[in-house]
Structure 1
Amino acid sequence: MARLLLIADDFTGALDTGVQFARQNIGTQLRSGEEAVRPQPPPGDPTAIWVIDTQSRHLSPRDASRKIEAAAAWGLQGNIRLFYKKTDSTLRGNVGAELSALLRATAAPRLLFVPAWPAMGRTTHAGRQHVEGAPLERSAFASAPLEPTPESSVAALLARQTSTPVQIIPETAALDDVLADDMRRGILVFDAQSEERLLEIGVAARRCGKDRLFAGCAGFAAALARTMDFARQEATPSRRPSGGAMLIVCGSLSERSRGQAAVMEQAGVPAVVPSPPSGPFETRQTAQRLAAHLSRAGRALLRTAGAGSPIPSCEDPAPAGAGDRDSPRAAIARGLGQIVAETLRQTPVSWLVIFGGDTARAVVDALGAPGLKIRDEVTPGVVYSEVEWPDGPLGLITKAGGFGAMDVWRDIERFAQRPPAETVTP
């Protein structure tokens, strides 16, 4: 049976792509941080999908490439032969540098790149990435506060970081002929405007059997989970909570996440906005306010300030010359993580809901939880995982900042109230 290494550049991406395999009862394990590439998978380990979060979204192209090369070397040493490079659905981050690094590390002749996720409104037409029908340069992501993407041409975006040849494969192309052509080398970018097309590409890749390198967001990963020859495991009942207090954390400055937080506040969820810098005293005070809200209302929202505020956000860029850990974004994310950890020490919480990849990573790091298991998908792009916790499994729901309907909180609420027996995943 096939084994695959999924390499993501941020935490929510690792989860929303890894869950595409987990929900198909394919054994999936997540590794993250500096320890991700050691030790090797134990001999005979039945895990089919290994997920590594390289945390390279905000690194320089050179440093990001090194992270990808290290992850690929780890996989090759563990006798893994299939690789999936998870990319942002709006092409943020070091996409060109990381795809070319994976090609170099594996010495493969080509990589199949399918950046579309039609279920989330991300499509690729004539080699250009669109969000809800609009080219990237005319979407909200063109003016995002961190890493805007003012260019929709996939080839042009890749060319900023790599000289690897790029070929655009239109939807009218005969997939079997394209994949059988050994002269097609480098990065093959496939147009796709429907979920059916993603499946067609996956089926053709399996039928051809030549390709080892794939890339895209969670949409194409879901297609590969359904079409490739991965071992399935017997489903086991989820141990997730049913009901209980819910703490929502929004560290994202995306227009979508800000609107979703506003919907929650309008529905009566009490919100707390910390005033950084948050030292130990401020952290305890903020946690006390959250704990009081959770005790009274069963719900509380911890969020950063909106766009234009003098208070920084988890998505504010680093000052010139500063390292990633020195950026306002990283500092505020760590501060939110410390507040969440202190809140959980003060009051019982059954559910953590986190918007934004940097925020989610910082919270999980601050909790120091010994394990996390990817479980299910609440809605497309919104992932449920279980965190090992002294009081029993802690329900963790995460999403990237730009994902989800404005009232996604209501879907999350319904999911949290369902009896655990309704969720059966590996």
Structure 2
Amino acid sequence: MVKLLIIADDFTGALDTGVQFAARGAATRVITDPAFDFAGAEPGLQVLVLDAETRHVAPEQAYAVVRQAAERALAANVECIYKKTDSALRGNIGAELAAVMDAAGADRLPFIPAFPKIHRTTKNGIHLIDGVPVAQSVFGQDPFEPVRYSRVAEILGEQTAVPVVQRSLGEPDTGTPGIQVFDAASDDDLVQIGRQLGLSGARLCAGCAGFAAVMADLLDLTGPSPRVPALKKPFFVACGSVNPVTRRQLDFAEQAGFPRFRLLPEEKLLPAWLESGDCAARVEHWLKTANEKGVCILDSNDLPGQPGAGAFAAERGMDLQQVRVQISDTLGRLMRRLLDGGLEATLMCTGGDTLLALMGAVGVAALTPVCELDTGVVLTYFVYRGKTHYIISKSGGFGEPDLMCRLAKLTETRRMQKEEIS
């Protein structure tokens, strides 16, 4: 029986939370079907992570999807529900926390938004990115989903009338109903909050991947340690993130010698291009380059100083949502073409939309997380046409500039280790 349901609003968030449990040996699956039969889950499955894909929908729709999933899980006797939220507080957080409370008939919900390992903390109710209030950080300039407030109560208050109670570390519980927003600046703070809540207080709670690691210990969900596989070269990156942090990582990798291919506006936004001879030739060239060089980047970001996808889309009456969906769909279909063409690589997808589009393109509805290769960088896999494909996922807004170079080296190291053992 499933003991814990995690409801995430995007794919990378689902993975970086689910892996906290998989790394401890708990049987964990990440799924994309909101109508999943919780009562009929496979025997032995302990943790189920649902990517509800509610980040970009209207708050009312997000509320309905999350509430229905939570109600069905509780009806199937799932013991605990964790509402996973974005660590930069993007999306429909207020509506979704209210949905979980209403589904459970609860008047209180602990909410721990901090993820100190990637420098996302909460102080006096203000959410900080690298010490900067979130609305003043790169997330305040996000072209698709800018965060307009830094005080957590204001972010939640846009979408719900549920009261917000600010909780300082170690502050006694006064029993006041509402969403209980906890301050936290370190992993030790998260552990202390877990002790304060206890198992009963954590059966219904919310936060990002940071507090999920504490949840794994509270629930004592363990099992055999996962086996980290030998990762194959080439290392192939598909980038659908426009975050400046990710772009710096791509620039660093390119300067280190990674071949980098940027999609032109018409290639990203015109579905007909995918059926063209030019597309077929480009796919063949990328495949050859990846196999010869051992590394390759397929990038959806515009070339600096050149006419971009925004102007191209505006001329055709496309809005930002249509642009986001079409770019992700294009990347997913191109990656499927590469796999069908014989690409056997360690894949990396940046941005949850990119990974979800790839899964849709290959007809896969579930992933199995294996471990973290770096903080928030998750190794997972799926099976397509009888072959196991390992995928590295990461959301856009964190990581050091040399991250992709370090991940590429893992494919070389693990390959050599395998050869030495054999």
Question: TM-score, normalized by length of structure 2?
Answer: 0.90
1:10 corresponding residue in structure 2: 10
Q: Is the 8 A contact 1:270 1:300 kept in 2?
A: yes
Residue 339 in structure 1 maps to residue 334 in structure 2: yes
1:292 corresponding residue in structure 2: 288
Tell me, what secondary structure is at the counterpart of 1:79?
A: coil
Identity over aligned residues, as a percent? 33
2:178 corresponding residue in structure 1: 186
Q: Deviations over 1:113-165 (max 9, x none)?
A: 00000110000000000001111122111112121113110001100000001
Per the TM alignment, residue 254 of structure 1 is displaced from its structure 2 partner at its CA by: 0.4
2-structure distance, mates of 1:370, 1:126: 40
1-structure distance, mates of 2:61, 2:366: 27
1:398 corresponding residue in structure 2: 393
Distance change >3 Å, CA 228–CA 392, structure 1 → 2: same
1:204 corresponding residue in structure 2: 196
Q: Deviations over 1:163-214 (max 9, x none)?
A: 00100001251xxx31xx4x3211000000010010111122226x245321
- Segments of 5+ residues of structure 2 without an aligned counterpart are none
Question: TM-score, normalized by length of structure 1?
Answer: 0.89
Residue 312 in structure 1 maps to residue 303 in structure 2: no
1:26 corresponding residue in structure 2: 26
Number of aligned residue pairs: 406
2-structure distance, mates of 1:248, 1:153: 35
2:262 corresponding residue in structure 1: 273
- Aligned CA-pair RMSD: 2.4
Matches within 5 A, 1:2-151: 3-32=3-32, 35-42=33-40, 45-151=43-149
Tell me, what secondary structure is at the counterpart of 1:397?
A: strand
Q: Is the 8 A contact 2:170 2:193 kept in 1?
A: no
Per the TM alignment, residue 77 of structure 1 is displaced from its structure 2 partner at its CA by: 2.4
2:239 corresponding residue in structure 1: 250
1-structure distance, mates of 2:375, 2:202: 27
Q: AA paired with 1:111?
A: L
Q: Is the 8 A contact 1:2 1:229 kept in 2?
A: no
2-structure distance, mates of 1:62, 1:244: 44
1:234 corresponding residue in structure 2: 224
Distance change >3 Å, CA 217–CA 41, structure 1 → 2: same
1-structure distance, mates of 2:86, 2:306: 27
Residue 216 in structure 1 maps to residue 212 in structure 2: no
1:264 corresponding residue in structure 2: 253
Per the TM alignment, residue 346 of structure 1 is displaced from its structure 2 partner at its CA by: 1.6
Per the TM alignment, residue 370 of structure 1 is displaced from its structure 2 partner at its CA by: 6.4
Q: Deviations over 1:372-402 (max 9, x none)?
A: 2100001111000022134632110000011
* Structure with greater proportional helix content: 2
Q: AA paired with 1:29?
A: R
1-structure distance, mates of 2:284, 2:38: 42
Per the TM alignment, residue 349 of structure 1 is displaced from its structure 2 partner at its CA by: 2.0
Q: Is the 8 A contact 1:254 1:401 kept in 2?
A: yes
